[in-house]
């Protein structure tokens, strides 16, 4: 089953519980626009390489399309379509006036020099320039893209249009018009939601062991935030593999070690054992944070998960077939469309600041983010009780109720 089919399955399930208007479901089951581009890039050795890129605009009933750009060797149109649909759903879960989009380029950025990466990014901007803009479609970082890439993006777009249009993209550096708090936003938003959940089960951080899959923007930051809040981090992984340390890990040391030794597998010391990515997910812990890629928990391994709670900072890390098994085992999955919505929320704040030309302090950003995440959590938990369903179905229902209204207001049904 393709990733996009997974997304449709999730929409279908929530739609049948809440009895969503059939035509709303039909509208949301197809993206509004799918763009595929071929990007010629001059390489450092003088050769020319052609890279394939995508931008999918899923739905803009709630506002301009919004969603990150992924640089990865396994990106394809199906994945980008799924990610764009989740963006539409996610923005609506937290009630921000944005729609859903996503982009990607088939590339392993680790194989490119900085200059090649810049030329590739600028070529991508030139190719999709006709369909994006600060009020139409605003990309952002995702896997393997960062503020430097967003700065090139904003610069190239502004050059083409002949004026400063840095609001075309979010996740920029502070110097180029980024928002304070954006770097931490995805993880911070997830932590705010986890704290709300923790209150409902009187969870004590000091007695709670956490495993984190993925140690990039989302995973690396959540490790710092959770460890600061008193949680014990007992396992981590990245694309090279993982380590499990029953005695706990020092996150600051781990972060410096990862920079120095390139992967968490080379860190941790004698009290840690090396494990594969698959093995890490099945180790003893209370909370499993998924912060890498999609399709990590399937029907095959869901039965072996020992965590009581899964916090989904990645998009689509739990497959629909696994949900049923987790439900039966009483494992709570705090779904991606709620748990990782902090990133797009602070991206929205960045759009507001760019339009206004006035910039907020981190002390202003975080309480605004918290308000939005806590309200979304409350709405989703209330819908979970009202419709007697798990948190994923409840988050979809929360989102679809708002989208149905927007689509109706537009006179589309």
Task: Tell me the per-residue interface mask from 28 to 67 with ligand NAD, x by CB under 6 A, - otherwise.
Answer: ----------------------------------------
Give the C-alpha separation, 246 to 272, whole Å.
7
| CA dist 139 → 109, 255, 356, 369 (Å) | 18, 28, 19, 20
> For residue 141, which of 95, 112, 104 has the smallest C-alpha distance?
104
Read off φ and ψ for residue 176, nearest 5 degrees. -95, 10
Indicate the residue among 239 and 246 with the shorter CB distance to ligand NAD.
239
Task: Tell me the per-residue interface mask from 273 to 292 with ligand NAD, x by CB under 6 A, - otherwise.
Answer: ----x-------------xx
Contact segment (CB under 6 A) with ligand NAD among 44-52, 137-145, 320-328, 392-400 equals: 137-145
141 is a site residue for ligand NAD (CB under 6 A)? yes
Query: How many residues interact with ligand NAD (rule CB under 6 A)?
Result: 24
Give the C-alpha separation, 20 to 14, whole Å.
8
Indicate the residue among 294 and 393 with the shorter CB distance to ligand NAD.
294
The answer to whether residues 267 and 243 touch, using CB atoms and an 8 Å cutoff, is yes
211 is a site residue for ligand NAD (CB under 6 A)? no
Give the C-alpha separation, 226 to 232, whole Å.
8
88 is a site residue for ligand NAD (CB under 6 A)? no
Q: What 3-state DSSP class applies to 205?
A: helix
Contact segment (CB under 6 A) with ligand NAD among 108-116, 138-146, 162-170, 356-364 equals: 138-146
Q: Is the four-CA dihedral 352, 355, 410, 128 of positive or negative sign?
A: negative
238 is a site residue for ligand NAD (CB under 6 A)? yes
Q: 159 is written with which tokens?
A: 């050059």
Question: Is 102 tagged catalytic?
Answer: yes
Residue among 102, 180, 258, 406 flagged as catalytic: 102
255 is a site residue for ligand NAD (CB under 6 A)? no
Contact segment (CB under 6 A) with ligand NAD among 192-200, 224-232, 308-316, 352-360 equals: 308-316
Contact segment (CB under 6 A) with ligand NAD among 121-129, 150-158, 235-243, 385-393 equals: 235-243
Length of the chain: 413
Q: 54 is written with which tokens?
A: 């995508």
Cβ–Cβ contacts within 10 Å for residue 201, how many? 10
Alpha carbon distance, N-terminus to C-terminus of the chain? 30
Q: Which positions touch ligand NAD (CB under 6 A)?
A: 141-144, 186, 213-219, 237-239, 277, 291-293, 313-315, 340, 343
């Amino acid at each position: 089953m393709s990733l996009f089919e997974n997304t449709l399955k999730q929409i279908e399930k929530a739609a049948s519980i809440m009895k969503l208007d059939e035509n709303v479901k039909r509208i949301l089951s197809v993206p509004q626009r799918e763009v595929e581009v071929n990007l010629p890039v001059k390489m450092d050795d003088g050769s020319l390489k052609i890279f394939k890129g995508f931008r999918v605009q899923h739905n803009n009933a709630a506002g301009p399309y919004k969603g990150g750009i992924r640089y990865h060797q396994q990106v394809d149109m199906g994945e980008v379509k799924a990610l764009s649909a989740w963006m539409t759903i996610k923005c609506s879960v937290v009630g921000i006036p944005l729609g859903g989009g996503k982009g990607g380029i088939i590339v392993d950025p680790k194989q490119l020099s900085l200059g090649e990466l810049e030329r590739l990014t600028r070529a991508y901007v030139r190719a999709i320039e006709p369909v994006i803009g600060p009020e139409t479609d605003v990309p952002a970082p995702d896997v393997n893209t960062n503020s430097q890439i967003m700065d090139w993006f904003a610069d190239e777009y502004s050059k083409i249009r002949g004026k400063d249009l840095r609001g075309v993209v979010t996740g920029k550096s502070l110097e180029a018009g980024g928002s304070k708090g954006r770097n931490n936003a995805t993880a911070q938003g997830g932590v705010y939601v986890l704290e709300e959940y923790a209150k409902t089960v009187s969870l004590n951080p000091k007695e709670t062991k956490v495993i984190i899959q993925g140690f990039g923007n989302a995973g690396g930051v959540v490790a710092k935030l959770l460890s600061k809040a008193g949680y014990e981090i007992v396992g981590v992984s990245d694309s090279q593999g993982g380590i499990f340390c029953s005695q706990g890990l020092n996150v600051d040391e781990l972060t410096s070690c990862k920079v120095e030794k390139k992967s968490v597998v080379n860190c941790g010391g004698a009290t840690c054992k090396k494990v594969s990515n698959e093995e890490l997910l099945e180790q003893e812990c209370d909370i499993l944070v998924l912060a890498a890629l999609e399709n990590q928990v399937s029907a095959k391994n869901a039965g072996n998960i020992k965590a009581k709670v899964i916090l989904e900072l990645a998009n689509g890390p739990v497959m629909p077939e696994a949900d049923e098994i987790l439900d039966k085992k009483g494992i709570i999955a705090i779904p991606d469309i709620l748990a990782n919505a902090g990133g797009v929320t602070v991206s929205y704040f960045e759009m507001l600041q760019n339009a206004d030309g006035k910039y907020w302090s981190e002390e202003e950003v975080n309480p605004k983010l918290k308000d939005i995440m806590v309200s979304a959590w409350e709405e989703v938990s209330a819908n979970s009780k009202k419709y007697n369903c798990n948190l994923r179905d409840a988050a979809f229902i929360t989102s679809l109720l708002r989208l149905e209204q927007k689509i109706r207001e537009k006179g589309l049904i």
